[in-house]
Amino acid sequence: MSNSVGIFGKIITSPDESYNENKRFWQGCPTIARTHGGILFAGWYTGGTGEPSPLNCNVLVKSTDNGETWSDVQLVIASNPELHVRAIDIQLWISPDKRMWAFWTIRDDNYLQNDINHLKLWAMICENPDADELTWSEPKLLTHGFLRCQPTVLSDGRILLFSYDWSNDRYSYSESSDGGKTWCRKIGGKKVNTPFDEAMAVEKLDGSIWMMARCEEKALAQSFSYDGGKSWTDGEVTNLVSPSSRFYLKRLPSGKLLLIRNAKIERRREWMTASLSDDDGATWKWSLLLDPDTNVSYPDAVLMTMERYTSFTITAEMTTRRYFFHA
């Protein structure tokens, strides 16, 4: 696919030096993916002097040496100020069929924030992300909502995208039963107070679906479905301390659950910690402090080997330190 422009923003497949690190004033909200051939891809949100900005854009880089070094920017998904649409928050994902998805959210400022049409989720797919040169599909509108975390694949093959919106007071998401070709909008339980859901979910060993979400109550929120997503419990606050910030939740190949979050709230976003549970989330017996610093947030993670993960986080001091780290 060559460069293209539309209501999805501006796709730039051969970016110039204006997107290089020394030209960026700020950056945030990172994402990471690892191909089956071992290539790492990372993306984030930048452009203009901060967020929001009509110049916001998303960038993609890659590493062929497990993150020791990184390429220049390989792809840019930029806003389209002429149409009053902002392209933000790229999210990478390797699907079970080994394709790489690049999701991004369009905030359409022609609509009010609480209008369902204000937030739209777009995606492009790379059929062979291990190729020397990436080839992308045309941009495709998938569904409504704001996606900020990796999708969940259930045991029956359904894919859940927790792309939330501000049109009502309930958790909302999108579901695909055909590998992502089509998506159906779903409504969940009532939200615990939050401006940004940023939810993730796992399928529990008993077949129920456990969704966690960001909230304003100094801990993570949760909701359950015991019938495959036909109905959901209303949100409730957990005992898992967390500021209002993104987290990461995933089941490892061993069966353990991995949770990465800011585990202290004394100075808002600090104490980035990875925790493991071997009893399906009833307790979290093991924890590893990744970074004790303040203003470190937004983890994302990928499997490197059977039990080794690499996680990307970003400092919230986006215009000063401006770095990501992986551990």
Tell me how far the alpha carbon of residue 97 is from its chain's centroid: 19
Task: Quick: pLDDT tens for 265-275.
Answer: 876 788 999 99
Rg of the chain over all Cα atoms, to the nearest angstrom: 18
Confidence of residue 316 (pLDDT cuts 50, 70, 90): very low
Residue 22 structural domain? 1-147
Asked whether residue 206 carries a pLDDT value surpassing 60, the answer given is yes
Contact in structure between 91 and 147 (CB atoms under 8 Å): yes
Confidence of residue 319 (pLDDT cuts 50, 70, 90): very low
The CATH number covering residue 103 comes to 2.120.10.10
Higher local confidence (pLDDT), 298 or 99: 99
Number of domains in the chain: 1
Tell me which amino acid residue 213 is: A
Asked whether residue 124 carries a pLDDT value surpassing 60, the answer given is yes
Contact in structure between 261 and 269 (CB atoms under 8 Å): no
For 22-42, give the DSSP string: GG-S-EEEEEEEE-TTS-EEE
Asked whether residue 97 carries a pLDDT value surpassing 90, the answer given is yes
Higher local confidence (pLDDT), 128 or 309: 128
- Cα separation, 48 vs 294, in Å, equals 25
Contact in structure between 229 and 249 (CB atoms under 8 Å): no
- Cα separation, 193 vs 171, in Å, equals 11
Please give the pLDDT value at position 323. 60
202 in a structural domain: no
Share of the chain above pLDDT 90, in %: 81
What would the mean pLDDT of 218-236 be, rounded to a whole number? Answer: 98
317 in a structural domain: no
Rounded to 5 degrees, what angle do the CA atoms 315, 148, 63 make? Answer: 65
84 in a structural domain: yes
Task: Quick: pLDDT tens for 44-95.
Answer: 999 999 889 999 999 999 999 988 899 999 999 999 999 999 999 999 999 9
Q: Which residue has the tokens 């949760």?
A: 222
60 in a structural domain: yes
Please give the pLDDT value at position 136. 97
Please give the pLDDT value at position 295. 80
Confidence of residue 212 (pLDDT cuts 50, 70, 90): very high
24 in a structural domain: yes
135 in a structural domain: yes
113 in a structural domain: yes
The pLDDT mean for the chain works out to 92
Q: Which residue has the tokens 């209303």?
A: 234
18 in a structural domain: yes
CB atoms within 10 A of CB 45: 25
Please give the pLDDT value at position 36. 94
Please give the pLDDT value at position 116. 95
Contact in structure between 15 and 73 (CB atoms under 8 Å): yes
Please give the pLDDT value at position 25. 86
Confidence of residue 27 (pLDDT cuts 50, 70, 90): confident
What would the mean pLDDT of 226-254 be, rounded to a whole number? Answer: 96
> Looking at 62-66, 115-119, 154-158, 268-272, which range is the least confident one?
268-272
Task: Quick: pLDDT tens for 14-23.
Answer: 999 999 888 8
